[in-house]
Chain A
Amino acid sequence: MTTTAGALADQLRHLLGPDRLLEGDLARNLYSHDGSIVGGDCGIVALPETTDEVAACMRMAHEAGVDVVPRGSGTGLTGGAVPLEGGLVISLARMREMGEVDVANSCMWVQPGVLNLDVSMAIAHLGLHYAPDPSSQQACSIGGNVGTNAGGPHCLAYGVTVQHVLGVEMVRPDGEVVILGGVAPDPPGYDLRGVVVGAEGTVGIVTRVLLRLTPLPPDVRTMLLDFLSVSDASAVVQAIIAAGVIPAALEMMDRNMTMAVEEFVHAGLPTDAAALLLVEVDGTAAEVGTATEVVERVARGHGVRTVRVAQDEEERALLWKARKTAFGAVARVKPSYYLHDCVVPRTRLVEVMEAIGEITEREGVMCLNVFHAGDGNLHPIIALDRSDPDETERAMRAGDQIVRACVAMGGTLSGEHGIGVEKRDYMPLVFDHDDLEAQACVRRAFDPDGRMNPDKVLPTGTRCGEVGLADTQVPEGTWI
């Protein structure tokens, strides 16, 4: 530890007490990882509990010139919360207070460490919910959701996190606290709130979030459709939306995934099907009735085998459990997984599924697919055993080819997980030099010293105003 870092640690220990400054090897190892397979190097970890404490930590780090990596629950899938070269990790996990629900304005302030699902559970009695619902919603935090502009199955109809965050309180890199956005819509000036959401902790630390709350739909119906071919299922996705129905959620699971999940959850999923579609429609009773008819008619026209309609809330919950525990179920197949989050235009679904099949077969790796079919957001999960270097190498190669295939079909790198470290060096596939430079300038406008979550999102070497030679090497010691 350098003198500067040592002095910073002393200051932080004085501020937070020894219990809330983690310096031991065990903690540093733990905080060197997130939900991805990226590994880094953690310096020290601060656990502030108030905005004032975050601001104080940030001032100290600013004065010491030390890099800061914000962290929520650590469930991210791209290494966004992984410190790469020491520095200070500021965990927001202890900031778990929810403010009063502002029922009249359908919103509430919460601290960033509040877990996603806890928000909806706390307000259900008011007939409200928080719409974005990532599969990890039992574990992921609102602050992390803001960082990655998280999505979830219900974002098809309801929109992603940025559409549900009215404002943020943010501690800037120099420790100043600013509120961007708010209950009153469209304040004068640029929509900085919109930039902060999805900036992956590179522009400041969000210490409070003003969430837009959505009325629970009066009626909802959940259906499970099963098909003997992936292309039939993909065609149904397209046809439902072409018929003018935007379901609340429209999810697909392939056979590998179905088998893994069924073994885990026992939801009565047909494990001989090539593809399952989980379709949820909601709205008024008349809307739900009409949408259900459309879904059934379209599915029958495309060779659906069975249409299972959840008969009660319990069955609905079971079907959703099957969907949302999918990533966990992969552990029954292999100890680890490597996944991507590409998006393709919906019209390319069949084609991209075929391409993924070919790529993973060629590389000899097992791929399980579960994804947001309605918006073309893929999650090809490559199951692997990281202790097998050859399999790991083949998984990496397959992942690389999948990303390139998606982009070649007019797609993009990430739909909801973010860029982090893992997708960072793919950014030049979708943006040219001037595009990336402009993004670097936006980032620098918030963080002139470049100390916030460095080496994330933009490829190394991308500079505002003076783009250096692109050095796409991942920092030494990083394990991807």
Chain B
Amino acid sequence: MDLRPAGRDELTGMLRAATADRRMLDIRGGGLHSRRGWPFTPDDVLHTGALAGVVDYEPDDMTITVEGGVTVGEVLRLAGERGQGWPQAPSAPAATVGGVLAAAAGGRRRLRFGPIRDSLLEVVVATGDGRIVKGGGRTVKSVTGYDLPRLLTGSLGTLGVIVQATLRLWPLPMAEQWFSARGEPAGMLEMARGLLADLHRPTAVIVGPGSLHACITGVPDDVVAPAGMVESPEPSGPGPGGDGPAGAHGGVVEIGVPPATLPAVARRLADDGRAFEAWMGTGICRAAVSAPDDVRVMRELAMLHDGHAQVIDGDDALRSDPFGPVPAGADIMRRIRASFDPAGILCPGRFAAAEAVPA
């Protein structure tokens, strides 16, 4: 059944009822991250799209408070009208704020602007048993209490439904441009190395199969084409939000490795003829996979470099082992989850520290 709460009260009522009846819920915003975690069959799908209010936007404070179902595109539009932006956001206008935060799915400008969790100042969630809990604060700086915003970011819906978020905005840059080049992987990686060494705080340096993209942000004098590169649009690569449906490839794995080892990972992916996008300097790489064995290969590759690999999009067959080894501090994570979602009804397949694979 599809649940579409129109407001907070209705939402918490639905959650209380689901907890009482032990009905498993999937939470859906824009739907970009719905093919994550172990496959599970929810009793109901809870859509957040009607929680779409802009609660407060104070341009002079550079903070905006929106409900979880507001889209990324709407935030960028509102902010843009006042010369501001949300540089940590993914290039996925239809994704919801709640969704991208729950998935910690930030955009390609991470190298300069940091992970998306750094942009979340205050969060309000509805817990599995229907309580409303607020954490953080709306000011741009706060160490008041335990950092629930960071805990919620990347929790994949397993702690609660993000009903409201206060985001830190930034001034739109005076100038910004993407550039690209094409060539053999070795040459592209060498150029990428040069950009990371020579540019002060590049915004993005992204290697794909036979391609290199770079984004430079700043004052007009600094935003010039690096040697051998030409102006081009932002790339469109593997992964939810980064391109169209990944279904054509079957699925996408996100690899996280120490940044210095990413060239080796990229070289291997290029040699294997995979579609991939390596965010140089950040240690993040998204690669297309088409069979369960590919997931295993990707994970071995990541772990060879002291990293990890998660399936961030894929059909059921690709998601038999979506997260890899049990994370450090799993018992702590289990206790936290049990306190936010005592009946375990929220997105059971998306809890990386689950003791057992959900049915």
Chain A residues near B (Cβ < 8 Å): 102, 104-106, 148-149, 151, 155, 159-160, 162-163, 178-180, 182-192, 194-195, 197-199, 215, 217-218, 238, 241-246, 283-284, 286-287, 289-290, 343-347, 372, 375-377, 410-419, 423, 427, 430-432, 434-436, 438-439, 441-446, 448, 457-458, 464-465
B251 to A: closest C-beta gap in Å? 16
| Interchain CB contact under 8 A, B260 and A105 | yes
List of 7 A-B pairs having minimum Cβ-Cβ separation, nearest first: A194-B150, A189-B327, A104-B260, A441-B339, A445-B335, A244-B171, A412-B137
User: Given that A179-B328, A191-B150, A238-B60 are contacting pairs, would A155 and B307 also be in contact in the complex, using a CB cutoff of 8 Å?
Assistant: no
**Pairs A–B under 8 Å by Cβ, sample size 26:** A104-B259, A105-B258, A159-B114, A159-B118, A180-B329, A188-B323, A188-B352, A189-B353, A190-B352, A192-B328, A194-B117, A199-B146, A244-B174, A246-B171, A290-B219, A343-B137, A345-B61, A345-B139, A412-B137, A413-B144, A415-B142, A439-B145, A439-B146, A445-B332, A448-B335, A464-B339
Given contacts A376-B141, A412-B139, A445-B335, contact A186 B61 (CB under 8 A): no
Interface string of B88-118 (1 = CB under 8 A from A): 0000000000000000100000000011011
A186-B104, A343-B139 are known; give 17 further A-B pairs, CB within 8 A. Answer: A149-B147, A163-B118, A184-B257, A184-B306, A186-B154, A189-B323, A189-B330, A191-B151, A192-B328, A199-B146, A343-B141, A346-B61, A376-B61, A414-B144, A439-B148, A441-B340, A442-B151
Stretch of B66-74, B127-135, B176-184, B290-298 lying at the A interface: B127-135
- A residues near B200, Cβ cutoff 8 Å: 215, 217-218, 283-284
B143-A414 in contact (CB<8A): yes
In the complex, B218 has a CB within 8 A of chain A: yes
Contact A244 B83 (CB under 8 A): yes
Closest Cβ of chain B: how far from A391's Cβ, in Å?
Answer: 28
Which A residues are CB-close (under 8 A) to B44? none
**Which of A186, A410, A448 is the most central at the interface, judged by chain B CB atoms within 10 Å of its CB?**
A186
Chain B nearest Cβ from A123, distance in angstroms: 17
Report chain A residues within 8 Å CB of B218. Answer: 283-284, 286-287
Q: Which residue of B lies closest to A409 (CB)?
A: B139
Please measure, in the bound complex, the distance between the C-alpha atom of A465 and the C-alpha atom of B327, giving whole angstroms: 26
In the complex formed, the residue of B with least CB distance to A413 is: B144
B residues near A436, Cβ cutoff 8 Å: 145
State A238–B323 Cα separation when bound (angstroms).
45
A435 contacts B135, CB within 8 Å?
yes
List chain B residues, Cβ under 8 A from A178. Answer: 328-329
**Residues of B with C-beta under 8 A to A432:** 134
Residue of A nearest to B307 (CB): A184
A433 to B302, CA, bound (A): 43
Give 1 or 0 for each of B144-166: 1 = CB within 8 Å of chain A CB.
11111011011100010000000
Determine whether B54 belongs to the interface, using a CB cutoff of 8 Å to chain A: no
